[in-house]
Structure 1
């Protein structure tokens, strides 16, 4: 996700975050949080606890995988304020969401248990955190681009986001991008959504607003029949506005990758092999259902092809 998109996402959830306790705010400001033993965890099993572990032969001597296994936990660069992706739960003290669950599943695969330490990272710091070895991986809606791939490596893509459609719950009539034809469609001013709408629905009437909260408010007020924006932002909007829903899958491509240190071919191969396995054994789909799938209508999407985009 771009820096501007990340800022818009933070703005969209700022009101909700303001309600967190002082304890949670202090934890967030410390720069890292931990899901390693000692924190209070919710009852019940999650996807990561039931996920598979790597065979001993896959943990090569002297490799990054061996270093992580010997340490006993995976260090992930990520967020704590991204609803449905990676957000700190103030009650359990646990980070929840699709990215967070993916990090725990990777930890389980390497270590044999889903132990993760999350180091807060930002768009401007992700590359540095990987380059200097502060984190092992980055899970943070990290869009794969050839330019970024000059500084870091990417496993994946593990998720394909892109422009998607938000409507009022129960509105009906819009299931596919072509259904936007003849409708009044809301978009953020100067965002990629405008060109995307024109491409798939040239007869749509586009109205623009300056921010994501304004766009969502306009939809809820009936000033448009749909709102088009990056799916990662829309799922955050649904979290705070349960009278809205995301319909269908993204209709443009924004591939998210797992950030890795550059020139660690063995670790990249290992992580890509893991991604293929969790797609085959349905773990990826289960993680989607329990996170993004709670607000995105329909069945889990097909995981993207590994190495299928430039820079991966």
Structure 2
């Protein structure tokens, strides 16, 4: 389904946060627990300092290119058998053992981020977790538990998303998590609810022009356990990777001059550029990465139920809940010609 972008001006949601912070204040009104990070690769010890592409024609300075459907120049991953990793189980409203477990507990436990502006972050004025991913969490919780559901948010570092699911510390993770062939061996995914792609974020004054030779010898930051780390382990273009627990930590290090550039999803980069207008995306997206809701491999009925929620979330074109969330959080920060959710892919 494709929804034509409306030309009406949209009111801004407030002044962008100009300087990133490593951790936003916790609020008593929302229960948030943190899953500790382990096995974090150390950052390179080299102390040398270093401090792009301009905005495209017709793109305002406070917006960055992004994708509800990723740009076609990048290649979509295919698994060894030729299948699309975003293929999931067909939707169903039946309540199997996993759905009953959530209902008997009377609450939904979800792994989220609280530091990704626009996606999952704490609103400093209210202290509430909010963002595109959080809107989706609430839609799932209301379907499973009814009106005013109890949701337990657990903040999980990037490299602890899969372990938290495997240990059943959470019922699901909704945290801009890319569906990949490698991850399908460890967790189950819903159908895709957004698409982005790995891209380079750099200061506007930087000579870095993208994922190319301009990175040679420079410190390139990304989150441990991310798809960017997997790419850099294969080919870093001569850059020296620096791994951190949370993607926002890369922006902080960039602001402090401790790294020269960041590799992250273009959708996350949109939030970081909104926080700090002195940085921008450079080069083209390197990948097509569908975001999905991750669940335990044994919870097939929950996967099908979530896919039913996503079907409803996409339905309605311009009036769909997906478009409402897009307009609320992303429309004035991402340049998408025809914003629309990815079409679902089913493997059964």
- TM-score of the two chains, using structure 1 as the length reference: 0.60
> What do residues 225-257 of structure 1 show as CA deviations (whole Å, max 9, x unaligned)?
xx996313321222212477779x967401111
* Change over 3 Å in CA distance of 1:270–1:17 after alignment to 2: same
Deviations 1:37-56 (A, max 9, x none): xxxxxxxxxxxxxxxxxxxx
Gaps of 5+ in 1: 1-12, 33-57, 170-182, 196-205, 218-226
Cα 1:28/1:241, change in 2 over 3 Å: farther
Aligned pair partner of 1:16 in 20, 25, 28 = 20
Query: Is 1:160–1:255's contact at 8 Å kept on the other side of the alignment?
Result: yes
Quote the residue 1:42 is aligned against: none
Q: Is the 8 A contact 1:99 1:141 kept in 2?
A: yes
Whole-angstrom distance in 2 between the partners of 1:245 and 1:14: 13
Residues 193-252 of structure 1 show CA distances to partners (whole Å, capped at 9, x for unaligned) of xx9xxxxxxxxxx9x8988659988xxxxxxxxx996313321222212477779x9674
Aligned length: 241
Choose from 127, 136, 139 the match for 1:102: 136
> Following the alignment from structure 1 to structure 2, what is the Cα–Cα distance between the partners of residues 276 and 239?
30
Cα pair distance change 1:136/1:85, threshold 3 Å:
same
Are residues 1:158 and 2:193 paired? yes
Q: Which runs of 5+ in 2 are unaligned?
A: 1-16, 36-91, 222-227, 232-236, 243-249, 256-261
Contact 1:97 1:292 in 2 (8 A): no
5 Å-filtered alignment, 1:171-250, equals 185-187=209-211, 213=251, 230-242=265-277
Corresponding residue number in structure 2 for 1:260? 295
Counterparts of 2:327 and 2:279 in 1: how far apart (Å)? 18
RMSD of aligned residue pairs (Cα, Å): 4.3
Q: Secondary structure at the match of 2:331?
A: helix
Aligned match of 1:67: 101
Q: CA deviation at 1:117?
A: 1.6
The answer on whether the counterparts of 1:161 and 1:255 sit within 8 Å (CA) in structure 2 is: yes
What do residues 145-164 of structure 1 show as CA deviations (whole Å, max 9, x unaligned)?
22211111111122111046
Compared CA separation, residues 108 and 90, structure 1 to 2 (3 A): same
